[in-house]
Amino acid sequence: MGDSIFDVGTNKYVKNSVSRCDFVPYGETRFSKPSGRCSDGFIIPDLINEAIGLPFSRPFLGLKAGSQLPPSINFASDGSGLLDSTHSDWGVVSFNEQLKQLAQLSKKNLNLNDFVVVISSAGNDIAANLQNIADVDLKAMLMSLEKGLEQLYKYGFRKIVYSSVGALGCSPIVTSGGKCVSEINNLVEEFNVQAREIVLGVAKRFPGMKGTFVDGYSLIKSYVENPKRFGFKNSGGCCPNCLSQKNTLSGLCKNPSDYVFWDIIHPTEHTYMLLAKEFIKKIIEVL
């Protein structure tokens, strides 16, 4: 579940969606063509599945009615957030709509306790207001998250892994000279602290539920502040014009793995490979 950090191509199934990464040069590292993933290659769900021996997850909206369900299903939608209002005019599938999709699984003869629900949602609720972060409604975001986790429990899901919002203040969309914007990061930290409490609190409150929290924020911040230590040469973005969908090849770097970010906000496969290791650890905790 979640946003572009996890989306493997959901929005190409959403009519008139303008929040998509299915154009050149996205996907160039692994797929030689755009795959719908907002990076140069594999993203976190791909790397998790590869590590545990599962086939790549498939978008829920791309499944044919009546067909056998694959072992890994992807509900994430690029541009979506915890709030229904976030990018509602972009043609995205909100967190609450994704919950409704998961509800359909509860109606099938499945042991939902076998599923691990991995979530990355909330970044766009903040990113949509980078010009005026005072408009970010943390209270509403946290309320949506808590209600969503409770709903998953009611459906029958018992294993939850939730990812923090990344270090948005360190992304090329806002950085100047490689320095992170503390005002933005402070807000992200405030959300993450409370989100972690909610995830762990819900897990304690409901019998049989297990929940863990991935601190991707601290990891990404460390990559930006000490790129060489983690095998990067540049803390910026490889494709600075990618999200404009115009002149996307202008300024494109030769080696994406040298960069922390692929475009001005999404990480490279190299970054995702480092992050995926932490996700796998957390998944093992809830099994």
Cα 87 vs. chain centroid, distance in angstroms?
Answer: 15
Catalytic status, residue 4: yes
Catalytic status, residue 85: no
Catalytic status, residue 270: no
Beta bridge partners of 237: 261
Catalytic-labelled residue, pool 3, 4, 17, 144: 4
Catalytic-labelled residue, pool 57, 171, 263, 270: 263
Of residues 161, 283, 153, the one with CA closest to residue 208: 153
Pairing of strands 116-119, 73-74: unpaired
Residue numbers annotated as active site: 4, 263, 266
